[in-house]
Structure 1
Amino acid sequence: MKYFISSLLLLTLAMSSIASPKGYSIQTIETPPNVLFHITGLDTDKDGNMYCATRYGDVWVYKNKTWHKFAEGLHEPCGLVLDDDGSIVVTQKPEMTRLIDSNNDGKADLYIPLTREFKFHNNYHEFNFGGVKDNDGNYIGTLGTAAGPTAKGLKLSAMASLGDWRGWAYKVSPEGKFTPIASGLRSPAGLGRNPAGEIFYTDNQGDYVATSTMHQILPGKFYGHPISLQDRDDFTPEKLKKMTDEEFDKLRTLPVVYIPQEEVANSPGNPEWIDSSGKFGPFKDQFFVGDQTRSNIFRVTLQKVKGRYQGCVIDFISGLQCGNIRLKFDKNGDLWSGQTSRGWTARGTKTFGLQKVVWDKKTIPFEILDVKLTKSGFTVQFTEKIDEKSIDQSKISRWWYEYSRKYGAPKSDLEDINASSVKLATDGKTLTIECPLVKEKVYCLDFSGISNSKGEKLGNTKAYYTIVNLLD
């Protein structure tokens, strides 16, 4: 009965919230026949060839519309990055591994461990995520915590750890030197970087994660899940058991954005940066993120306020065939989606696959382009000119999320607020909104009533801005 109700709920939500921006289509790539092609790692080379790691332990290459297997026998890899020398670095559960084709026959014959400094304790949830390099050439990974009845070690809530850097972000030099970077990660399913080389990760809702989040990885920071603190010299398991959630809260660094549960995402994957080339339409200098449960892709725009990032979440496209755990732009600007269900429910009807989102290179969809905080409210950019008569239909609400060891949390202190002023700029595409501002709030700007000059409604009507700091 529980499964039936969950499936019915997902079907109802899927039917009521399809995002389909004009000018963008979803194309399905045929995967190798009779292969459980659950994609958990995705990268491309300069020629546009696509490299896919599957959770069943293979690495495949898609070249000239033909598949060939490059490697096999890996232990549930969850990240893949193509290196400058043509080798491939994968993050599999027990280690980070370099794959080399030394005789140029198209198959890896050298599987060289880069690091085993962390430990894998044979728990299904101890994933090792990867797929990015920093500006110094280090490979970045994130380690999931243990879950379920077989989870062993310190357990403060739903997740457990025997230590050994579970719940940490780490880097590995090309020579294999392992360095832990930051703690407090729960289920950090996706990594991405911007052109400046700054690294970001997403975390999935659960204990100490009220709703899914995106963080910037910075040295020494603690992002909220306390199970990982046992690996720091200033904490012990005994000390952690005595600490309260209020004490942990004082230590944590708040996320770049909160991602509203069900409204936007449930289980986000890697953030994939779009540059300013215009190959993917009007969107530039922001992240695209896929979600496993909702089978959709959403956007995250960034703003640096008082020395740290915060930003806005806007849905983009839904209706993909499966959960989107990995995204990658190719040389043409097409957005590829590596997909898996891994046994978890997703809105898409398939259990695995590969698709790509393609722009027709001419149609500009009517969308919220970006939202930025001002000293007295927000500026909102749209992709097309809007009808000035419709701007009074804007609605604003705000809330926050409780930090606790409970599994997820609803919106706290939810309230509707009124804008004192809404003005349209001379370009016809920019709204200036003045409204009461409070830090540590998520603001939902609802433009359901707004239309463009042709009378068309927005493809996605809501923007969710997370205020951590206010502008002076």
Structure 2
Amino acid sequence: MNKITKTLGLSLLLITSTTVYSQGAPKNNYKPDGYSIVTIETPKDVRFHATGLDSTPTGDVYVATRFGDVWKLNGDNWTKFAEGLHEPTGLLVDDDGSIIVAQKPEFTRLIDTNNDGQADEYLMLAGDWDFHDNYHEFTFGPVKDKQGNYYGTLNLSHGDPNAFSLGAMGSSGGYRGFAFKVNKDGEFSPYAWGLRSPAGIGSSPTGELFYTDNQGDWVPTSTFHFLQEGKFYGHPVSLAQRPDYTKESITNTAVEVFDEMREKPVAHIPHLEVANSPGNPAWDISKGQFGPFSGQIFIGDQTQSNIFRVLLDKVNGVYQGAVINFMNGFQSGNIRAEFDIKGQLWIGQTARGWGAKGGKPFGLQKVVWDGTNPFELYSINLTQTGFKLTFTDKIDAKSVTLDSFTAQDWNYKYSGNYGSPKMNLAPITPSKVSLSKDQRTVTIDMPLVADKVVQVDFTGLKDVNGRHTGVDKVYYTLNQLVK
């Protein structure tokens, strides 16, 4: 049997963020044409903080709640599948139909041996990390690669007097601030380090790993990362568990050294404008059932109660890319996202005491598409002279003028401070704009500098039916220029 601990009464602490440094805030309400939110009725009198979410090939949905239950939704019927877990924050339906839950002390495999709809066996899949009974020591995952290996991420602690800290967050050891791997034989190994509050991990359709991290100390604004084995992602305290470092050597290392060591984000996620507390990435593998965004990445945000997209670009063989808002107006904090077999995007929600724009403490909703083709930005790709922006519908050629576009760039200061303002914020003047023959792609020339976030606004653009886009600004993380 496993080492399950009954859910504790956890204090709902409000962690204050940095002063807001924001320009270009999103519209109060935005969504693409054809998309709507459906609210799912959850079990009555249950604090249904949906912190783990996955679906089956037959369309059933499993949800883990942070108060320790796992529920199954079949049609309109809810049944409790498991209980007594310790604040789970992730769930995976495995290939054999068993359920793997990420609870604070371990990954647990739940098995219904007699097919009565309830788990009979709670088996520890992995638990080689330490849990020090700190409220912020979450365990996220699991996700699975093509070879059958499982992965998860481990939060740093907050307010632990025994933790090694160089800012707001700390580690008392036991792989806090690490990503880890568990192979098919159940063998645990550290995979990457330097993570802060990596609340969302995802495996792409090709098996590549990505994760989101939340803004705070050593994370100037929330980030989207390509997760690679043996890499350092910026928060220094986890290095104390590496054999080539000591707490003393870490404390005496200059910020510039850590900056040179760390992996750059694939995309910075501007604070407040896009997200404060991003969750897991979900890939649209619906082959058009969810509209014209097939293959793209969707992420919910716990504070903003919205969903945004990540638009990947590969420059000189390395991932970088952009983020753009998709829709808002959800009822609570969006922390989990999952596409089901019908191409519906399910959203697991909790405010967890931090609060959320949606106002409600918890819930479950899904996004559905009615077949209307929206007019939105589909992709953005770096060129040698600027960007190519491709849209989901034909563009009115008369609106493709320099006056329809504005741009600005900035960078963030990497340090132990809690977040960063936009540094060196400056306008960029586009010099040339043109429209492709199929009227879907706009090419914009503008002067660009590496190691910047570039915001491109296309407020003046219209499609052939006179529609403006629901979201008219995109944020591209320009780690490097085209060589």
- 1:390 deviates by 2.1
3-state DSSP of counterpart to 2:276: coil
Structure 2 residues without counterparts, runs of 5 or longer: 1-13
3-state DSSP of counterpart to 1:399: strand
Q: Which amino acid aligns with 1:28?
A: T
3-state DSSP of counterpart to 2:304: coil
Q: How far apart, CA to CA, are the structure 2 residues paired with 1:406 and 1:388?
A: 46
Q: Which amino acid aligns with 1:258?
A: H
Q: Which amino acid aligns with 2:389?
A: V
2:391 is matched with which residue? 382
Does structure 1 residue 70 correspond to structure 2 residue 55?
Answer: no
3-state DSSP of counterpart to 1:408: coil
The answer to whether the 8 A contact 2:25-2:273 is kept is: no
- 1:16 deviates by 4.4
Q: Which amino acid aligns with 2:428?
A: I
3-state DSSP of counterpart to 1:30: coil
1:399 is matched with which residue? 410
1:27 is matched with which residue? 38
Worse overlay, 204-213 or 453-462: 453-462
1:358 to 358, 364, 368: 368
Q: How far apart, CA to CA, are the structure 2 residues paired with 1:332 and 1:122?
A: 40
Going from structure 1 to structure 2, the CA distance change for 1:452 and 1:180 (only over 3 Å counts) comes to same
- 1:64 deviates by 1.9
Going from structure 1 to structure 2, the CA distance change for 1:74 and 1:384 (only over 3 Å counts) comes to same
Does structure 1 residue 455 correspond to structure 2 residue 470?
Answer: no
**Cα shift readout 1:153-203 (whole Å, capped 9, x = no counterpart):** 211111111111100000112322101110110000011121110010000
1:235 is matched with which residue? 245
Does structure 1 residue 141 correspond to structure 2 residue 152?
Answer: yes
3-state DSSP of counterpart to 2:337: strand
- 1:43 deviates by 0.4
2:421 to 410, 417, 426: 410
3-state DSSP of counterpart to 2:341: coil
The answer to whether the 8 A contact 2:286-2:342 is kept is: no
Q: Structure 2 length as normaliser, TM-score?
A: 0.93
Does structure 1 residue 217 correspond to structure 2 residue 227?
Answer: yes
1:130 is matched with which residue? 141
The answer to whether the 8 A contact 1:114-1:175 is kept is: no
Q: Which amino acid aligns with 1:290?
A: G
Q: Which amino acid aligns with 2:440?
A: K
The answer to whether the 8 A contact 2:281-2:297 is kept is: yes
1:303 to 287, 306, 313: 313
The answer to whether the 8 A contact 2:67-2:85 is kept is: yes
- 1:276 deviates by 6.5
- 1:205 deviates by 0.3
Aligned residues: 462
Q: How far apart, CA to CA, are the structure 1 residues paired with 2:56 and 2:186?
A: 23
Q: How far apart, CA to CA, are the structure 2 residues paired with 1:300 and 1:111?
A: 36
Worse overlay, 51-60 or 97-106: 97-106
Q: Which amino acid aligns with 1:379?
A: K
- 1:23 deviates by 0.5
The answer to whether the 8 A contact 1:367-1:383 is kept is: yes
3-state DSSP of counterpart to 1:201: strand
**Cα shift readout 1:237-296 (whole Å, capped 9, x = no counterpart):** 111111121121111010010000011111000000013611111112210000000000
- 1:151 deviates by 4.5
1:471 to 471, 475, 482: 482
2:329 to 319, 324, 333: 319
1:272 to 279, 282, 286: 282
Structure 1 residues without counterparts, runs of 5 or longer: none
Going from structure 1 to structure 2, the CA distance change for 1:15 and 1:354 (only over 3 Å counts) comes to same
The root-mean-square deviation of aligned C-alpha atoms, in Å, is 1.7
Q: How far apart, CA to CA, are the structure 2 residues paired with 1:261 and 1:121?
A: 30
Does structure 1 residue 256 correspond to structure 2 residue 266?
Answer: yes
- 1:17 deviates by 2.4
- 1:14 deviates by 9.8
3-state DSSP of counterpart to 1:438: coil
**Cα shift readout 1:46-102 (whole Å, capped 9, x = no counterpart):** 000000000001110000210001110000011110111111111100111111111
3-state DSSP of counterpart to 2:378: strand
- 1:15 deviates by 9.6
The answer to whether the 8 A contact 2:405-2:457 is kept is: yes
The answer to whether the 8 A contact 2:25-2:272 is kept is: no
1:247 is matched with which residue? 257
Q: How far apart, CA to CA, are the structure 2 residues paired with 1:195 and 1:153?
A: 37
Does structure 1 residue 99 correspond to structure 2 residue 110?
Answer: yes
State percent identity of aligned pairs: 55
Q: Which amino acid aligns with 2:391?
A: F
Q: How far apart, CA to CA, are the structure 2 residues paired with 1:54 and 1:174?
A: 26
1:177 is matched with which residue? 187
Going from structure 1 to structure 2, the CA distance change for 1:464 and 1:76 (only over 3 Å counts) comes to same
Does structure 1 residue 80 correspond to structure 2 residue 128?
Answer: no
1:117 to 128, 134, 139: 128
